Structure 1
Amino acid sequence: MDTEKKLIINSDKENLLTELIRSMNECISFYFSVAFVNYSGLQLLLDPLKEAQDRGIKGKIITSTYLNFTDPKALEKLKEFDNVELKVFVTDKEIGFHTKAYIFEYRDSYKVIIGSSNITQSALKSNVEWNVEVIAKEDASFIQKVLKEYNALWEYSSEANAELIQDYEEFLKTLKRTQPVQQSIYEKKEYIIPNRMQKRAIENLERLRAFGEKKALVIAATGTGKTYMSAFDVKRYSPKKVLFVVHREEILRKAKETFEKLLPNDGFTFGLLTGNHKQKNVDYLFATIQTLSKCYEEFARDEFQYLIIDEAHHATSPSYQGVLNYFEPEFTLGMTATPERSDSGNVFDLFDNNVALEVRLHEALEDELVIPFHYFGITDIETVDLSDVSIDDIAEVTKRLKVNERVDFIIEKMNFYGHDGEKRKCLGFCASIDHAQYMASEFNKRGYNSVCLFGEHSPEQRERYINRLENDDDDLEFIFTVDIFNEGVDIPSVNSVLMLRPTNSPIVFIQQLGRGLRKHANKSFLTVLDFIGNHNKTFLIALALNGSRYYDKESLKVAIATGFANIPGCTHIQMDKISQERILEQIDRENFRSLKYLKEEYFEFKKLNQGLIPYYLVDYLKYDGAPDPVKFIDKEKSYIQFVAKVEKDEGLKNLLLDIEFENVVKELSSKLPLKRVYEFVILRYLLDHDYIDVETAQHEILKIIKHVDLDSIIHAFETLNQNYYDVGQKSTKLKLCELDGWVLSKTSVFKRVIDNENQRAFIEDILTFGIFRYEKEYREEYYGVPHFKLYEQYQMVDAALLSNYRKIHSSFRGSGLIANEKEFFLYIDLHKEESIKESINYKDMFLDEQHFQWQSVNNTSQASERGQNIIKNKERGVNLHLFVRKYKELDGKTEPYIYIGKGDTIAYEGEKPITVTIKLENEVPASLFNEFTIKV
């Protein structure tokens, strides 16, 4: 056998962890020599080590005390495996130890991986690392030399016995006491720089202010640096006086410290306005709403140029409203993790619907604003049978979960996977108070110090238990709870989460997961153990972990099959085979578009909405993991019609009796989700104005995106004037605007509808939701003409609108290739339905991530004008845009295409059809490539 070599790097296509796991599953023995082993990396290899032990595969591991980086806890864990021999190279001042080698023995060959990666989560998954893999026969000179060196090292190293590990651990503790981990560092305010999230927010705030906006909202998860972001923006804006308002004093003190740190030499004075402090005569005042609401009239209305409302979802309450209505700052910034709506109003409206930034869990992981998590999905014990019970029947679910054998199983798995840091600080989420009390009692009986916390406990009791859990010297390790920690409670040092209840909502799952993701000096990852039962909603876990509100059956299945490879950074998601198969089966059976499924999803969301009917689309923006309401629109033509139907709501039904109102709602709803924002921005302006000209439209659009071309604005005016509707569309779709020259005005029908206060609220909601979701998906970028974003979803007809096509848009249908002058749009189905009898066998396929093979329709010859434009597209200045979908239909609904960008023909053959090879301008990301090419 010839020697095989390859370079392994950590990227979205591959990482060293995947290669190590694959190799361990296939080898007959293994030998590692690594300078450092810490628990974050070892935890990811525990299951492969256990499987190797079960198969009788033996291994040897050498690590070292070099730089005191190896974790004693990792050494102790490795000693638990009876198939692994462990030695430690004890370094001294003269000799360092820096090897990173992984050797796997096969029947007739060896695989050697040598490079830069130690056993840490970052080295195995996300760091920039180079590791070279060599496969060769045993007698190859390279293999012989590696084995000889390994054996020499093995002889030189010390056995990792209990005494050595204990001595090493004591040495590290002494070192920690004499040399604190957090060394004093030279830190000047100009060296503290914004992270990516903060930079984006500040840029967007600048742009909004440049267009005269006076308010904006930033939505980002707890712990992602919103306070720093506000301080950076204040520093840039440089107001003379600032008012920072929040409802908890403890947040206030931290905020004041942050501002003092970032603006130490700017000559400003800082003070608190609370129950105990009345420092009113300062430049930058940090006030609790409770105190401020009693004395705000002592200040001049224009006293503060910049007003910050933290936890802005509270700002709809009367105490905040008094403050907000009184002060007249130049700019007001709202910050929140959950933009909740309340009876007294909508937080989006309070900030003029200007959302400067929204950061949800996946973006927070990507931007490293929170710590990574290691999720282990574990099949629950067989004696717990939930297959014939509704997970909403809490009493019955609780009864079935209260099994001593299950408690032992949970403890066994918990001890196997371990946790980061010395003391375990764990939250256990239970099905009910009864279940939480049972778990705390059973854990205490087994010697694990635990308490139970639920809503009826006083804030003082809650705070006492939280402080005990956070205290390294207290022996409290577990707090079992129902749902009081879903949001709003911050316990930064939590390093473990136990999911002990059936998941019935992706929202709750994400909230519970989020409790442990706050950054903390003493942890580098969160351990999440989810005990997955055989109930009929197991697949909801996959929805929560997949991280996309906009999913389909196929993308979910591929995510599960690839171990959620789309999750960024060091986060690791692993499900055992039984759980995987169970979830895949459920996804296959479930119809995500059926009225039954949509109603279940709606009512589950309503329950989380405090049981209140979510009348508005923006209600779905407040929770990470909320359902996509556009699915409800697809079912009933508008969201209001869906709610009227499932709620049997007479008030809504009566409102919909106004045919013109119903038609306006349907017309606007049909545009969701927006693919360009211009039309909705123009319509939102027209809610409060009788007409709009091109210059004003440009000004309004530039509040949302960095640039817009004049022709596209004119095309948007023409579109709203229904210039490109066919006869059928004109007869059924209500006209909202009238174009006269380059001025667009409201039609009398549209004016009448929005003059009705009840009707206007629903119209405004659709426009706000459409614009907000557009901003979320497209950000502030300008995509040119055609206005396509890479890897976004599109229907065939969208290309007409987005390329400023000036004929009837509904003509964009049917054929696999449609052209607008020099723009050619190729629509490709990878899997053809068997029922379609084609006269040829299409061969449309990915050749690799950057090359695509496509066949023209079967009457296209190379000599024809169209054939020449395809095969010589580059020299003729023709742009080939590729839109691909895996299946034409899923769950009875037509699937959208994914835009994979432009490409150029680099090879071609054949006549009628022509088969061409297209080189794509952009390499398709690994997660999307997998979705297109993996059949589950």
Structure 2
Amino acid sequence: MLKAGIYEQLVTSALQKKINELPVKEFYIAQTNLDKEEAAKVLAEYLIGIIQLALKVVRQEDNVLKQIELCNNIIQFVDEKVSLNSSENLVSLEGQILTAVLNKIGKTDKQLEEELSRKIPQTGLSVSSLFTGSNSDISIDNEIKRDILSTDKIYWIVSFIRWSGLRIFEKELEEFTKREDVEFKIITTTYMGATEARALDFLSKLPRTQIKVSYQTQTERLHAKAYIFERNTEFNTAYIGSSNLSKSALTKGLEWNLRVTSQENFHIIEKAKATFEHYWNSIDFEDFKIGGLTKFKEAIQHEKQRDSSISLTEYFKINPYPFQKEILEKLKLERDFYGNKRNLIVAATGTGKTVISAFDYHHFYHAQKGKANLLFIAHRKEILEQARTTFRAVLGSGFREYGQLWVGDYVPQNGDLKHLFVSIQTFNSQKEFFRERLPKDYYDFIVIDEAHHSQADTYRIIFDLFKPNILLGLTATPERMDGKSLLPDFCDKIAAEIRLADALTLKLLSPFQYFCITDESVDLRNVKWNAGKYDTLELTNLLSTKKRVSLIIEAVEYYLTAPFESKTLCFCTSRDHAKFMSEAFTEVGYRATYLVSGNGNNGERNNIRQSLIKGEINFVFVVDIFNEGVDIPEIDTVIFLRPTESLTIFLQQLGRGLRLAEGKECLTVLDFVSQAHANYNFGEKFRAIAGKSRFSIQKEIENNFPHLPAGCSIQMEQQAKTYILDNIKQAVFNARRLRQEIASFRHHTHRELTLSNFLQYHQLDIRTVYAYNTWSDLMKDAGLISFETEGYYHQIAKGLRRLIHIDSPHYLNFISCLIDNDFIYSPNQKEDEQFALMFYYDIWQKGISEFSFSSIYIGIKEIANYPVLVNELKEIIAHLKSNLNHTTRSLELDYAIALEVHAQYSRDEILCAFGKTTPEKAFPSQEGVVNIPDLNTELLLVTLNKSDKDFSPSTQYDDYAINEKIFHWQSQNKTAPETSVGISYIRHKENKKNVLLFVREEKKNIYGFTSPYYFLGPVNYISHTGSKPMNINWELQEPIPPILWKAAAKMAIG
């Protein structure tokens, strides 16, 4: 009988029989369909076992020839089915294993045999091995020597290199690098000052050797240890494990290292090579030759003296992270497309808001050709000093004296105010000076740090005195506790937000361990709900009970390692609740206090803050006083003692504990979960924590958050998890709920019912609505409108759903013009013809003969006969135009093309634009490569996640971004370098052939729609490896847009 447990086993007839024998009442059987992309690998591995068993039976007769004959019979049988040219694949009857092909010119056979005895690894090239340092193991350093001597390319990545470890391989590395056709690349760091200069000096003098170093060890803490050996024979090997290049690690320590082979673990070798290639091409790793030993020794000394006042910007140039580039992209969109020049950025403290402002100014400075006066306002001297240093580093080496400080003892020299970093206190004390001396347009670019203070009188003077070209506000806390909105100062919107998960992934914030604890002491389902929140008085009474206190203290003692040493913020619902909890904790012996708005003066608040930092107080119970503008990096625990209705405030509160601090391992979060009111939203809270994912938040919770940033975890007690999932399920916008919310929208919101208003109020993606029906049909089902659905109504309605991915401003404008002209349109340029054909197929899907249209323009004009759908189309286009989230750019080729680089297009739209689909007939091919001879162009259509499974290690390394400008692409299986197709890729530039790249993350998104492709533009051949398929590295003319970076850069972190 089958044993209970988990399996990953192909169901055979024998296994199915065993499954059928299991009592249905006693056992649950879980099965899944064989994935199309992984079927070949799974079935082949199954056949290996069957064939191996058969060969063992034949082997019992001690006859190798019979085993070979059986293999050849199998090959011939397969060839009859799929034509594999079996004569090439038949096993030689002599039963030999090829072990080497060597150039014998100038050498005797004996010399070559001796050479081989030194080179061939003792563990072979096919079977993987684990080195543990046990008595039965062979020497790992001796095996690495053999790998060095027998390989053609070496890629090493280690966090530190010591001479004691490197000298073990001194002779082998010298012998290897003397060869003309080899390559040696090594990546290391200055982390902890452990890498020795002598080791790098030796490596740098080896021929055909390149070294890259990470000097940014405070954020790029590389701990990987891998030694990769790539051979022209494609028998590649790699050591992946715990040993750095030191003698103790390689010869003495209890280190475990896995030696894998490409014959047995191809996907692991490929991932190791791909990850190394990504690091190598990353701006975070600098060529050792640039600064040489001098820079390296200075950086090592800096690492050994972490408290040194030497600025890190002396050692590396600041580069924006991908998520910061996405923010800059959104700022550009706001200004160039929407015309909004007063922009607000929201991000947790410590995630690089100042860096973003510096890069934003950098772009502006160069666009204005240096005529860009800057005013940077903050409330502390330390922030201003750091900001000026950051701006200098971003602007470059010629700006080391850039900017004047005006704060405390600092006064601008020579009265130079053009680039001023000033405190808000100084600004107010000198406001008459500014008023009298400087015109309103004196400053072109103003940055206000802690912009949530903009409503205060001390900050209003800035808005009164100056009218800059660009006003940039930075804040971690956009929701003020006094209820005043700061959005009117910033075009009534947040221009961009830094996602929490991005900052956590890059280790800019402390990792967290988030515990959801079941709270059955209260039931909040029937608590009064007003204006989007619980009634405070009723909530206070329910939460302030001894029974609940006992639960909380029990959880504190269980989850906190040392409660009496913790530095904990506890968020409460009211002053009475905070006071009650503080007294309850004090009563059981904890050092606790409470603090709320209006409770005590600033001096008292600062004293409590200092007491918490010093550990004199361990628990501070607060209502809103620590929500905004307070920075205490030492906080190591946050406890939510109340449900926080506002997502923004929740993130502000969580952010209080996410600052990095010396000795702080992680943030512990305790969240007490009870049954919530139907209007309470658990989903958005956990989506914000978990980050962007192609999976629903319900699935993330059910699978215990498999996609959290490294080092973070969310653990839910079972009943708490049930409460949360039940809440999310009832909050899901299915067709029934959509109809209900549409029907009651005007009554509940007192706003006009439009598609945009509805989506904005409920914070919904437009795909949520169109996953179920059109807006018009939902309105009709809700009883708000009535109309007939005759003729082509349903055909056109389906077509509207195929438009909601559009983010090309040019295409959107084209459709707007169509609507304004009652769908009567005569194209006056080639791009318009392409747009017209794209739009026709978006709506109709089939050629004109299918509908008896004489032209596509007749088909387009037909839409005007359905006014309900015309109005809906207007709303769709208006919504899409007002919710663009990245910029696009036109492309100039040697022929006209309507597509914009970085815009999204469906496969049908792409084929229309390039003429493969015509008015008469849609192009039928579903291949990932489309050749267009008439335009001397080839289209590469790439799906990054080919498998329908959540994670597929065997298929996810076919296509991916190495860096922002290099994309690794795998050709079709039949393509070899010597074939006409392979040659056309290699020589496409000399043949003036355009190769254009289109990339999407997955086949279908979580809403059930077929995913469109991002157009990444032209690419140029760099290099290739392999055959049938070829692995080609393409260089993009335009960098991969930040919005696609995380999906495309599978080897990247962040």
Q: What is the TM-score when the length of structure 1 is the normalising length?
A: 0.52
Matched letter for residue 362 of structure 1: A
Q: Does 1:307 align with 2:449?
A: no
Partner of 2:183: none
Cα deviation code 1:346-380 (max 9, x no counterpart) = 556489x9x5x642212222333322211112222
Assess if the C-alpha contact under 8 Å between 2:1001 and 2:1047 holds in 1.
no
Assess if the C-alpha contact under 8 Å between 1:227 and 1:255 holds in 2.
no
Partner of 1:563: 704
Partner of 1:770: 883
The verdict on how the C-alpha distance between 1:277 and 1:603 changes in structure 2, with shifts beyond 3 A counting, is farther
Distance 1:511 1:430 in 2: 14
Query: Of 504, 528, 543, which residue of structure 1 is paired with 2:669?
Result: 528
Q: Secondary structure at the match of 1:255?
A: helix
Query: Of 246, 249, 254, which residue of structure 1 is paired with 2:379?
Result: 249
Assess if the C-alpha contact under 8 Å between 1:786 and 1:803 holds in 2.
no
Alignment of 1:466-865 (within 5 A): 467-472=609-614, 475-502=616-643, 504-535=645-676, 540-547=681-688, 555-588=696-729, 590-593=731-734, 596=737, 628=765, 631=768, 672=804, 674-680=806-812, 715-716=834-835, 726-732=860-866, 766=879, 769-771=882-884, 773-774=885-886, 848-850=952-954
Alignment of 1:402-441 (within 5 A): 402-418=544-560, 423-441=565-583
Query: Of 595, 609, 616, which residue of structure 2 is paired with 1:453?
Result: 595
Alignment of 1:329-368 (within 5 A): 332-337=471-476, 346=488, 349=491, 358-368=497-507
Q: Does 1:221 align with 2:356?
A: no
Partner of 1:271: 405
The verdict on how the C-alpha distance between 1:300 and 1:453 changes in structure 2, with shifts beyond 3 A counting, is same
Bigger Rg, structure 1 or 2: 2
Gap regions ≥5 residues in structure 2: 1-122, 132-191, 195-222, 226-238, 245-254, 261-303, 394-398, 786-797, 820-827, 844-855, 933-938, 957-970, 985-994, 1016-1027, 1034-1043, 1049-1054
The verdict on how the C-alpha distance between 1:262 and 1:928 changes in structure 2, with shifts beyond 3 A counting, is closer
Matched letter for residue 376 of structure 1: F
Query: Of 896, 899, 903, which residue of structure 1 is paired with 2:1009?
Result: 896
The verdict on how the C-alpha distance between 1:579 and 1:497 changes in structure 2, with shifts beyond 3 A counting, is same
Matched letter for residue 897 of structure 1: T
Matched letter for residue 270 of structure 1: Q
The verdict on how the C-alpha distance between 1:487 and 1:634 changes in structure 2, with shifts beyond 3 A counting, is farther
- Tell me the CA shift for residue 715 of structure 1: 4.0
Query: Of 285, 307, 319, which residue of structure 2 is paired with 1:182?
Result: 307
Matched letter for residue 249 of structure 1: H
Partner of 1:933: none
The verdict on how the C-alpha distance between 1:464 and 1:191 changes in structure 2, with shifts beyond 3 A counting, is same
Distance 2:508 2:400 in 1: 28
Assess if the C-alpha contact under 8 Å between 1:794 and 1:899 holds in 2.
yes
The verdict on how the C-alpha distance between 1:208 and 1:375 changes in structure 2, with shifts beyond 3 A counting, is closer
Matched letter for residue 415 of structure 1: E
Assess if the C-alpha contact under 8 Å between 1:376 and 1:573 holds in 2.
yes
Q: Secondary structure at the match of 1:307?
A: strand
Distance 2:923 2:535 in 1: 48
Distance 1:403 1:133 in 2: 59
Assess if the C-alpha contact under 8 Å between 2:681 and 2:728 holds in 1.
no
Q: Does 1:116 align with 2:242?
A: yes
Assess if the C-alpha contact under 8 Å between 1:420 and 1:527 holds in 2.
no
Assess if the C-alpha contact under 8 Å between 1:620 and 1:629 holds in 2.
no
Partner of 2:108: none
Q: Secondary structure at the match of 1:431?
A: coil
Query: Of 419, 436, 440, which residue of structure 2 is paired with 1:284?
Result: 419
Partner of 1:259: 388
Partner of 2:46: none
Matched letter for residue 479 of structure 1: V
Query: Greater shift after overlay, 552-561 or 719-728?
Result: 719-728
The verdict on how the C-alpha distance between 1:596 and 1:550 changes in structure 2, with shifts beyond 3 A counting, is farther
Partner of 1:191: 316
- Tell me the CA shift for residue 475 of structure 1: 1.5
Matched letter for residue 182 of structure 1: D
Q: Does 1:297 align with 2:435?
A: yes
- Tell me the CA shift for residue 267 of structure 1: 3.6
Assess if the C-alpha contact under 8 Å between 2:240 and 2:257 holds in 1.
yes
Q: Does 1:230 align with 2:357?
A: yes
Matched letter for residue 531 of structure 1: F
Q: What is the TM-score when the length of structure 2 is the normalising length?
A: 0.47
Q: Secondary structure at the match of 2:883?
A: helix
- Tell me the CA shift for residue 528 of structure 1: 0.8
Partner of 2:44: none
Partner of 2:8: none
Distance 1:475 1:293 in 2: 41
Q: Secondary structure at the match of 2:639?
A: strand
Distance 1:508 1:783 in 2: 46
Gap regions ≥5 residues in structure 1: 9-66, 70-97, 101-112, 119-128, 135-178, 654-665, 688-696, 698-709, 738-749, 754-761, 831-842, 853-868, 903-916, 930-936
- Tell me the CA shift for residue 678 of structure 1: 3.4
Distance 1:928 1:206 in 2: 22
Matched letter for residue 597 of structure 2: G
What is the aligned-residue identity percentage?
26
Assess if the C-alpha contact under 8 Å between 1:901 and 1:920 holds in 2.
no
Distance 1:294 1:411 in 2: 55
Distance 2:910 2:401 in 1: 55
Distance 1:446 1:308 in 2: 48
